[in-house]
Structure 1
């Protein structure tokens, strides 16, 4: 779900098997993306993955770094991440969102060859688009709770609304 002139274009790592089967981003039960998006104030209610088409009405979009579906992101190769980063750069250059929010620091590091990146705003820009790295909402990412992820997403929301 992408469009021109978005406030924030969220970018997942790659489709999981449930996402590939349904065509809906972050569709696996237990993935915390949709609850965190709501808790952080980006959406006025909790959206279901099947309601991703509503995102542009909120100034939001969603895409992935890599198009190939896998059971786990660690099945992706470095070459896939690099190629995905180039395609994503082209997409962002064309669509010009205010912010690109890459959901997963490991994916961002691999796609943009930035081994020192941390969660939060990045120095890198793509044209006029600022870049923010968010924690991966997968249930496998136990270092981040739903609440702490929502706080980080809310930091981005505040920055996006100020821009």
Structure 2
């Protein structure tokens, strides 16, 4: 479904439901929903977003899912949430305070659902939300939640937005694949 200009305008500041549940291998975490996602109620819904193709190319899904099939992720041990719940046209509309507050709320979700790994899709969002200015793409040295073996691993992966020109789809899929191989099936 392609939203109309009116539907896109009305989607500003909406929230969409997380795709989340118990026993997740990976909880993917976007920066915040875009207007297409707000209008459709589906994560990573804008054409040109590379999340769904990267998820498939990395081996997380047996076929390329469409945004409206996001509910199928739970059976695969995968989920989706966002650092900031508020829908915007662009991530630069978010404040540093929203990122920090979103980081705290994200920790609460991780402690509640206890996924094996949290994958934050965007290094700038991770750095701001968690105060880790020197973080790099890949597995982070500190997990979230309980200490020891119960902690959720944290990974920072490239933002799959079509606006992220620093990474090709193949490069994004390769980073997703590293995560998949680390968490197993």
Task: Quickly name the TM-score band, shorter chain normalised.
Answer: over 0.9
Q: Show structure 1 runs of 5+ residues with no match.
A: none
Report how far residue 22 of structure 1 moved: 0.5
1:85-130 CA distance string (max 9 Å, x none): 0000000001000000000000000110100001100012112100
Q: Where in structure 2 are the equivalents of 1:1-163 lying within 5 Å?
A: 1-126=19-144, 127=146, 128-161=151-184
For the pair shown, which has the larger CA radius of gyration, 1 or 2? 2
Alignment length (residue pairs): 162
Unpaired segments ≥5 residues, structure 2? 1-18
Higher strand share: 1
Deviations 1:13-55 (A, max 9, x none): 0000000001100000000000000000000000000000000
- Normalised to the residue count of structure 1, the TM-score between the two structures is 0.98
Greater relative contact order (Cα 8 A, min sep 6): structure 1 or 2? 1
Q: Could you state the TM-score of these two structures normalised by the residue count of structure 2?
A: 0.86
CA RMSD of aligned residues (A): 0.8
Moved over 4 A (4+): none
> What secondary structure, in the 3-state scheme, does the structure 2 residue paired with 1:63 have?
strand
Deviation at 1:154, TM superposition (A): 0.0
1:148, CA displacement in angstroms?
Answer: 0.6
